[in-house]
């Protein structure tokens, strides 16, 4: 066991909070609990509304969805391959096509959240979804770990001026710094979440100590995004990591929720059920009160882990698979200029990777294809130099 850091607690007092609707994320505030409904609605509006109810009944601050079209996530067709999740190989592009949230749901979900007294917001992955949510007047945006290096998207969302909640699973500290620099240059409020890009992850990878590193380095509210943890018997954790995160001073906490872990779908199997969620929130609130009062706490040493923010070995598969890079979106002839009409920032799945998103502005409208490029092929230096 290790002792919670009173020095970190004192340092956090000077960090400004981040406003989200009528709530605030910060040192002197309650934990901002995000119920990640995500894709667990299974394209059923009734299920989505019931999940909002579960979040509200448990005392969560917000219900979060994912606003995307499959074409804005992955390269199309068989090139994307399959994704191994919870022991199954899933055709990745088809899976996400079948889990898109209909745009007409947004006002209905937003209204239901308002009626239940919680905040509605969503993860965005592209311009189209960002514009839909901006039109709806959402109070904040979520950027997922997979887009935390996607500079074109970061700039698009930051320009809206709404608070951003950023997860950095599988990222390095340098990548987090680069992305936060872009957001903060726009004067946009931002909160950061330590996250493990593995579904579910091992307890030894939690590295809750990274939260102190992030808080000290960036002087912004910091929390934890829980993508599910499991023991050696594959039992999903619903208390050990969440409670330790609260004891370690998480200002915000995100967790996947489901009505039933046995439901079909990619994310149900590692999510938290309604009764578990209610108990979890209550226990974490107790731990938060103790943390804010300055009480000395002990934190599970296995969960505290390392304070070094880096890509973990168990995150490498997901990073290679889902961190976005540059791809052609249609056939490009030799001599043609690269433009937003023929190049996009997409996840490669099991295919080859292209240039990192930070190079998008460098090559678009400037670089020329030196040889023919088929649709959904990676844009690499050798095809444009």
Asked if residue 218 and residue 129 are part of one domain, the reply reads: yes
Are 159 and 240 in a shared domain? yes
Tell me: do 289 and 184 sit in the same domain.
yes
Shared domain for 227 and 353, answered yes or no, is no
What's the Cα-to-Cα distance from 192 to each of 164, 183, 293, 323, 374, rounded to whole Å? 9, 11, 23, 18, 38
Per-residue model confidence (pLDDT) at position 14 = 74
Scored b (16 or more CB within 10 A) or e, 236-252 reads: bbbeebbbbbbbbbbbb
CA distances from 358 to 148, 308, 316, 345, 375 (A): 11, 24, 20, 10, 21
253 and 329 share one domain = no
pLDDT at 1: 46
> Packing angle between helix 173-185 and helix 210-218, nearest 10 degrees?
40
Averages of pLDDT over runs of 10 residues in the chain (385 residues) are 52 81 97 98 97 98 97 92 76 87 97 98 97 97 98 98 98 98 97 97 98 98 98 96 98 98 93 98 97 91 98 96 97 97 97 98 97 97 94
On whether both 372 and 302 belong to a single domain, the answer is no
Residues 352 and 212 in one domain: no
CA 5 to chain centre: 26
Compute the distance between CA of residue 207 and CA of residue 248 in angstroms, rounded to an integer.
Answer: 11
Task: Name the phi and psi angles at 347, rounded to 5.
Answer: -80, 135
In 3D space, the residue among 293, 253, 251, 254 whose CA is nearest the CA of residue 25 turns out to be: 251
For residues 281 and 139, what is the distance between their CA atoms, to the nearest angstrom?
23
Element holding 316 (H helix, E strand): helix 316-322
| Residue at a domain's end among 264, 288, 316 | 316
Asked if residue 377 and residue 308 are part of one domain, the reply reads no
CATH number for the domain harbouring residue 340: 3.90.1210.10
Q: Where are the beta strands (DSSP E) in the chain?
A: 2-3, 18-20, 23-25, 32-38, 62-67, 82-85, 88-91, 119-124, 141-143, 164-167, 190-195, 222-226, 252-256, 298-299, 325-328, 343-346
Let me know whether 105 and 149 are in one domain: yes
Tell me the C-alpha distance between 66 and 311, whole Å: 24
β 141-143/119-124 pair status: parallel
CATH of the domain at 130: 3.20.20.70
- On whether both 210 and 336 belong to a single domain, the answer is no
How many contiguous H segments (helices) and E segments (strands) does the chain have? Answer: 14, 16
**pLDDT tens-place string over residues 14-46:** 789 999 999 999 999 999 999 999 999 999 999
| Domain range for 357 | 324-384
Say what the alpha-carbon torsion angle 152, 157, 160, 164 is, to the nearest 10 degrees. Answer: -140
> What's the helix, strand, coil split of the chain in %, to 5?
40, 20, 40
Looking at 290, 316, 342, the residue that finishes a domain is: 316
Q: Which of 316, 340, 370 is the last residue before a domain boundary?
A: 316
Instruction: Give the position of tokens 């931002």.
Output: 190
Beta bridge partners of 18: 25
Tell me the per-residue pLDDT of 46-79, one tens digit each, with 9 for 90 and over: 999 999 999 999 999 999 999 999 999 999 878 9
How many domains does the chain contain in total?
2
Whether the CB-CB separation of 138 and 162 falls below 8 Å is answered with: yes
> Are residues 351 and 243 part of one domain?
no
- Does 349 lie in the same domain as 285? no
Q: Max alpha carbon distance in the chain (Å)?
A: 66
Res 82: pLDDT: 86
């Amino acid at each position: 066991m290790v002792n919670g850091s009173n020095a970190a607690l004192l340092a956090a007092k000077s960090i400004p909070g981040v406003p989200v609707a009528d709530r605030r994320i910060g040192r002197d505030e309650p934990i901002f609990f995000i119920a990640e409904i995500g894709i667990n609605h299974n394209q059923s509006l009734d299920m989505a509304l019931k999940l909002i109810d579960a979040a509200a009944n448990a005392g969560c601050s917000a219900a979060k969805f994912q606003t995307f079209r499959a074409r804005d996530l992955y390269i199309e067709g068989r090139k994307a391959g399959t994704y191994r999740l919870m022991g199954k190989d899933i055709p990745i592009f088809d899976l996400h096509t079948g889990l898109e949230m209909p745009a007409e749901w947004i006002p209905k979900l937003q209204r239901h959240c308002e009626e239940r007294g919680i905040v509605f917001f969503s993860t965005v992955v592209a311009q189209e979804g960002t514009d839909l949510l901006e039109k709806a007047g959402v109070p904040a945006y979520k950027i997922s770990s997979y887009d935390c290096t996607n500079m074109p998207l970061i700039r698009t969302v930051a320009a809206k001026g709404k608070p951003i909640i950023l997860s950095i699973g599988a990222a390095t500290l340098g990548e987090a710094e680069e992305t936060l620099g872009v957001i903060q240059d726009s004067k946009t409020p931002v909160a950061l979440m330590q996250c493990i890009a593995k579904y579910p992850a091992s307890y030894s990878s939690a590295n809750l100590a990274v939260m102190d590193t992030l808080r000290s380095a960036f002087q912004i509210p910091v929390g934890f995004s829980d993508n599910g943890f499991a023991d050696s018997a594959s039992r999903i954790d619903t208390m050990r990591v969440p409670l330790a995160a609260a004891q370690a001073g998480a200002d915000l906490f995100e967790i996947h929720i489901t009505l039933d872990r046995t439901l079909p779908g990619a994310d149900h199997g590692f999510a938290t059920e309604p009764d578990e969620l209610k108990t979890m929130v209550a226990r974490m609130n107790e731990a938060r009160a103790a943390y804010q009062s300055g009480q000395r706490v002990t934190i599970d040493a296995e969960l505290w882990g390392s304070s070094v923010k880096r890509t973990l070995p168990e995150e490498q598969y997901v990073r290679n698979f889902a961190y976005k890079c540059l791809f052609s979106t249609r056939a490009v002839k030799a001599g043609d200029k690269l433009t937003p009409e023929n190049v996009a920032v997409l996840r490669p799945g099991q295919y080859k990777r292209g240039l990192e998103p930070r190079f998008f502005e460098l090559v678009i409208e400037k670089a020329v294809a030196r040889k023919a490029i088929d649709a959904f092929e990676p844009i690499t230096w050798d095809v444009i130099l």
